């Protein structure tokens, strides 16, 4: 991936935003289990950072996806995972399908204010009994006159408590599970929506909610693209979500290794620094190599995505590797911090809690392995089992 001067300018802008507007408040937000998303999103919107890849007609910067990923990578400098995740849900998870397939009506009403930072968005796909298996979603949007009337539940929804609108996946017919779903823009102040906060082991500053929809009425004009295409749109939307997950993790991984080098260099045991034990500096060298390999994989996927290639395979690999590496790095680094690593107010223990999510959210590791195996032609029960040459 060749970065332009424009990429580097954007990098500096985002890094400065993290340093000035996010990191000084992270400790307070983590304790409060929330952050002022409306105020932060407005500041990001004023800088043009919520619509980097989107159409200028709706307030976007009209740049390509690689610029959005530069922002994701720099947001990884934030001293917690919750805030970058909340921003990513808004920029790269609940808006890509709206931008690509939405009508003028939904773009004006939901995309433009999201880009401006006037509203906060969330993505409602998972349900209490449908997480990995998205096709099993049961939330129903039945037609009544010109409206949908929505009944069901959504689970673990990031930004769910504060969001002004939700990109909601709901069944709009009794057709087969992959053809009966639609993505619908739902204003979160609609009558019949209730919310319940979910407490988590990590990602504390990000709000996570269970959402209940009881006969919620929204105009059918709020559907994104074609009715019945929601499952397909969501699978496409997942590619940007998974690449966001990878790109936004890289700098956090580097920071964890840097902090551990610093700590173990100072910390003495048996007359020498902890870092001087070969098992420690070799392990950290190996983890750094893994981060560089993940960086190369991620940017290779981004470059191909920008060129119009289907990157389902590479995005799934990048997401899988990010989840695996998050667990390896945070576990190894925490180990080398000893008892200090086990204390709550410590950057390593926070990363240990926060990054554990990567192997679960946006498609668990096993789901990524299934996708990769399917594309390799090795997944039993799938039609194309011929070995694939790349």
Ligand X SMILES: Cc1cc2nc3c(=O)[nH]c(=O)nc-3n(C[C@H](O)[C@H](O)[C@H](O)COP(=O)(O)OP(=O)(O)OC[C@H]3O[C@@H](n4cnc5c(N)ncnc54)[C@H](O)[C@@H]3O)c2cc1C
Residues that bind ligand X (CB under 6 A): 89, 122-126, 131-132, 156-158, 200, 203, 208, 357, 360-364, 366-367, 370
Give the up-direction half-sphere exposure of residue 378: CA atoms within 13 A in the CB hemisphere: 9
Tell me which residue has its CB nearest to ligand X.
Answer: 131
Instruction: Select 187 or 370, whichever has its Cβ closest to ligand X.
Output: 370
CA distance 323 to 245: 9
Min. distance of Cβ 57 from ligand X in angstroms?
27
In the set 127, 215, 241, 366, the catalytic residue is 241
Backbone CA torsion sign across 369, 234, 323, 33: negative
Structure tokens at 258: 């840097």
CB of 36 to ligand X, least distance (A): 19
CB of 319 to ligand X, least distance (A): 11
Minimum Å distance from CB 177 to ligand X?
A: 15
CB of 67 or CB of 156, closer to ligand X = 156
Cα–Cα dist 230/249, whole Å:
28
Closest distance to ligand X from the beta carbon of 62 (Å): 27
Residues with Cβ < 8 Å from 328, sequence gap 6 or more?
Answer: 287, 290
* Helix (H/G/I), strand (E/B), else coil: 219: strand
d(CA 315, CA 312): 5
Whichever of 110 and 156 has its CB closer to ligand X, that residue is 156
CB 141 within 8 A of CB 170: yes
CA distances from 131 to 88, 91, 105, 388 (A): 19, 22, 30, 29
| Residue that is written with structure tokens 């240990």 in the block | 352
Residue 223's contacts (CB-CB under 8 Å, 6 or more residues apart) are 106, 148, 172, 182, 183, 184, 185
CB closer to ligand X, 34 vs 276: 34
Question: Is 303 an active-site residue?
Answer: no
Complex with ligand X: residue 153 or 208, whichever CB lies closer? 208
Q: Active-site residue numbers?
A: 241
């Amino acid at each position: 991936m060749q970065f332009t001067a424009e990429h580097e300018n954007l990098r500096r802008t985002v890094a400065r935003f993290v340093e000035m507007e996010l990191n000084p408040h992270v400790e307070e937000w983590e304790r409060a289990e929330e952050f002022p998303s409306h105020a932060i999103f407005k500041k990001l919107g004023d800088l043009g950072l919520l619509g980097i890849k989107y159409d200028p007609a709706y307030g976007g910067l009209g740049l390509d996806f690689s610029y959005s990923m530069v922002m994701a990578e720099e947001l990884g400098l934030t001293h917690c995972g919750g805030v970058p995740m909340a921003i990513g849900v808004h920029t790269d998870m609940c808006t890509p399908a709206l931008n690509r397939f939405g009508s003028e009506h939904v773009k004006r009403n939901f995309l433009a204010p999201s880009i401006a930072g006037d509203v906060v968005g969330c993505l409602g796909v998972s349900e209490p009994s449908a997480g990995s298996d998205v096709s099993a979603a049961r939330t129903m949007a039945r037609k009544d006159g010109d409206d949908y009337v929505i009944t069901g539940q959504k689970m673990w929804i990031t930004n769910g408590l504060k969001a002004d609108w939700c990109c909601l996946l709901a069944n709009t017919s009794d057709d087969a599970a992959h053809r009966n779903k639609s993505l619908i823009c739902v204003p979160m102040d609609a009558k019949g929506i209730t919310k319940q906060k979910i407490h988590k082991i990590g990602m504390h500053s990000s709000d996570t909610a269970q959402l209940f929809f009881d006969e919620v009425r929204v105009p059918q004009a709020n559907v994104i693209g074609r009715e019945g295409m929601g499952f397909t749109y969501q699978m496409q939307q997942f590619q940007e979500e998974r690449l966001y997950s990878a790109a936004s993790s890289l700098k956090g991984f580097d920071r964890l290794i840097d902090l551990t080098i610093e700590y173990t260099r100072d910390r003495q045991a048996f007359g020498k620094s902890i870092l001087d034990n070969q098992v420690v500096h070799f392990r950290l060298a190996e983890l750094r190599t893994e981060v560089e390999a993940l960086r190369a994989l991620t940017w290779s996927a981004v470059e191909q995505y920008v060129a119009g290639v289907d990157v389902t395979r590479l995005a799934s690999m990048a997401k899988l590797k990010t989840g695996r590496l998050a667990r390896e790095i945070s576990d190894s680094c925490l180990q080398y911090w000893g008892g200090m690593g086990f204390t709550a107010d410590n950057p390593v223990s926070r990363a240990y809690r926060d990054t554990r999510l990567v192997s679960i959210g946006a498609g668990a590791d096993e789901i990524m392995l299934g996708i990769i195996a399917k594309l390799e032609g090795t997944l039993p029960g799938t039609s194309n089992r011929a070995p694939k040459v790349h």
